[in-house]
Amino acid sequence: MQAVARWLGERFGTFVLAIVLAVAVWVTAVVAADPNEQRTLRPHALEVIGQPSQLVIVNQIPEQVRLTLRAPKSIWADLEDNPRLVKTWIDLTGLGPGEHTVEVKSQVDISPIRYVDAEPRYVDVTLEPLARREIPIQYVVSGVLPLGYRSGQARLDPEAVVISGPQSAVDAVSQARVELNISGAVETIERTVPVELLDGEGNPVGGLSVSTKTVDVMQPVSLLGRFKNVAVKIVTTGQVSNGYRLTNISVAPPTFTVFSENPELINELPGFIETMPVDINNLADDTAISIDLNLPEGITTVREPSVIVQVSVAAIEGSMTLSLPVEIVGLDPGFQASISPESVDVIIAGPLLVLDRLAAENFKVVVDVIGLPPGIYQREPVVVEAPEQVRVQTTLPETVEVTIEIAPTPTITSTTPAPAGGAAPTSTPAKTPTPLIQPTKPPTGAPEP
């Protein structure tokens, strides 16, 4: 035994060296087959953990981190295809208010890999206490009501808001304000208005949570005593031109505010006031007319007592049916054509005064057969000439039958003088004429000739 132990002791270093060489050879073989590569991963989301519930982050921190790793080539495919293998975060556990520099930590759920770098490696974090505060809403009115109107006490819902966020931002808020423009209002306003958070200099303050971002405002608007808002009633005289009709009549402005020193006159006034008579006699076109109001005695208006009356008229229309001949156009030389039926009924519409003066001579209906070979066709007649003021409603029938044939060539005959002895002259039979244009084979889909 002592000899064996002595022999092993003399050769122990050799065994160790052999094992190290074997491992080195194995590692070299593995690396050669699957070499290491250094790459930078695509950005991964940066998580925040351990943040104290009573503190908030008030500065901007990076949202993503890029890791540079060194790993065998075979692992990179899994790293790039499965982003859930990589996790990056910063830990705020135990930190108090103030500014801190925190190291970015990462974890990769695959091996073997070696961390090389992270961008960013460190993150600056500023923590502040979380504050909460209730602020009454300040209501601001802008604009001016029309003369004779007044505004009442507005109602807000809600009347205050609760803001929460970083202590410094909450402390900076001087007022929560809503603003309503009442310019031109003649009745109570109900509107939803956004809430503005402003500092002491009137600048907006952001980064805060607000219990409500809008406020419902009801602003009463009413007339002062001795004032009244009335509608304008249009009074007309005459009739529009013969053959025309009144299509619309409107007034601007449609209402007027009137005033009287005598409250009883205002109270007795109906809900409208008439215009002076608007003369529409013989109107044949749209017209705008400026007209004064017919104010009762003791009643005045708060502005110029005149309105613009817009009168719209249009010609009275009717319809009629005319039987019109159909002409063929575009027929190639050497062809002849016939139409069945030879005339169509055309229904036209337009002003009655124009229709009364129309006759068939004012229209032209054609069928275009340009380029068509011999055959039988169904074609739509088209009205190509008609007075400008009328519209063609329809044509009956909608199609006509057109028959195209080769035109016959005229026959030429000659007379031979009678021979001596009184024999009767003989007639030379005429030769069968040769068509000027041979029929062509109809194109695919054309009607049979």
Task: Give the confidence band of 308 by pLDDT, cuts at 50, 70, 90.
Answer: very high
Per-chain mean pLDDT for the chain: 83
If one counts every other C-beta atom within 10 angstroms of the C-beta of residue 374, the result is 19
Please spell the DSSP secondary structure of 403-422, one letter per residue. EEEEPPPPP---BPPPPTTT
Task: Give the confidence band of 263 by pLDDT, cuts at 50, 70, 90.
Answer: confident
Task: Give the confidence band of 10 by pLDDT, cuts at 50, 70, 90.
Answer: low
For 130-177, the pLDDT digits (tens) are 899 999 999 999 998 887 888 899 999 999 999 998 998 999 999 999
For 207-246, the pLDDT digits (tens) are 889 999 999 999 998 878 788 888 899 999 999 888 888 8
CATH superfamily, domain 129-223, is YbbR-like domain (2.170.120.40)
- Whole-angstrom distance, CA of residue 209 vs CA of residue 442: 82
Please spell the DSSP secondary structure of 269-332, one letter per residue. S-SEEEBSPEE-TT--S-EEEEEEB-PPTT-EESS--EEEEEEEEEE-EEEEEEEEEEEEE-PP
pLDDT score for 147: 78
pLDDT score for 431: 42
CATH annotation of 36-120: 2.170.120.30
If one counts every other C-beta atom within 10 angstroms of the C-beta of residue 241, the result is 15
CATH superfamily, domain 227-315, is YbbR-like domain (2.170.120.40)
> For residues 344 and 302, which has the higher predicted lDDT (pLDDT)?
344
71 has pLDDT over 50: yes
pLDDT score for 279: 92
Q: One fold for both 36-120 and 318-406? A: yes
pLDDT score for 34: 57
Domain residue limits, the chain: 36-120, 129-223, 227-315, 318-406
pLDDT score for 277: 93
pLDDT score for 269: 83
Per-range mean pLDDT, top range of 71-75, 201-205, 264-268: 201-205
Alpha-carbon Rg for the chain, nearest whole angstrom, is: 51
CB 399 within 8 A of CB 382: no
| DSSP category for residue 177 | E
> For residues 431 and 280, which has the higher predicted lDDT (pLDDT)?
280
> For residues 78 and 31, which has the higher predicted lDDT (pLDDT)?
78
If one counts every other C-beta atom within 10 angstroms of the C-beta of residue 85, the result is 17
Task: Give the confidence band of 428 by pLDDT, cuts at 50, 70, 90.
Answer: very low
In the predicted model, what is the mean pLDDT of residues 9-13?
63
For 366-420, the pLDDT digits (tens) are 999 998 899 999 999 999 999 888 889 889 888 999 999 998 876 665 555 545 4
| DSSP category for residue 372 | -
* Nearest Cα residue to 80 out of 93, 71, 90, 88: 71
- Whole-angstrom distance, CA of residue 27 vs CA of residue 127: 49
283 has pLDDT over 60: yes
For 197-206, the pLDDT digits (tens) are 999 888 999 8
- Whole-angstrom distance, CA of residue 145 vs CA of residue 224: 11
Please spell the DSSP secondary structure of 78-121, one letter per residue. HHHH-GGGEEEEEE-TT--SEEEEEE-EEEESSSS-EEEEEESS
Burial of 115 (0-12, 13-18, 19+ CB in 10 A): exposed
* Nearest Cα residue to 329 out of 340, 320, 339: 339
pLDDT score for 314: 87
Q: pTM score, two decimals?
A: 0.48
Least confident of 3-7, 113-117, 390-394: 3-7
pLDDT score for 2: 65
> For residues 437 and 104, which has the higher predicted lDDT (pLDDT)?
104
* Nearest Cα residue to 163 out of 200, 131, 140, 137: 131
- DSSP bridge partners of 336: 405
136 by DSSP, 3-state: which?
strand
| Domain 318-406 in this protein, CATH class | mainly beta
Q: What are phi and psi of 21, to 5 degrees?
A: -65, -40
303 has pLDDT over 90: no
pLDDT score for 262: 85
444 has pLDDT over 50: no
If one counts every other C-beta atom within 10 angstroms of the C-beta of residue 190, the result is 11
28 has pLDDT over 80: no
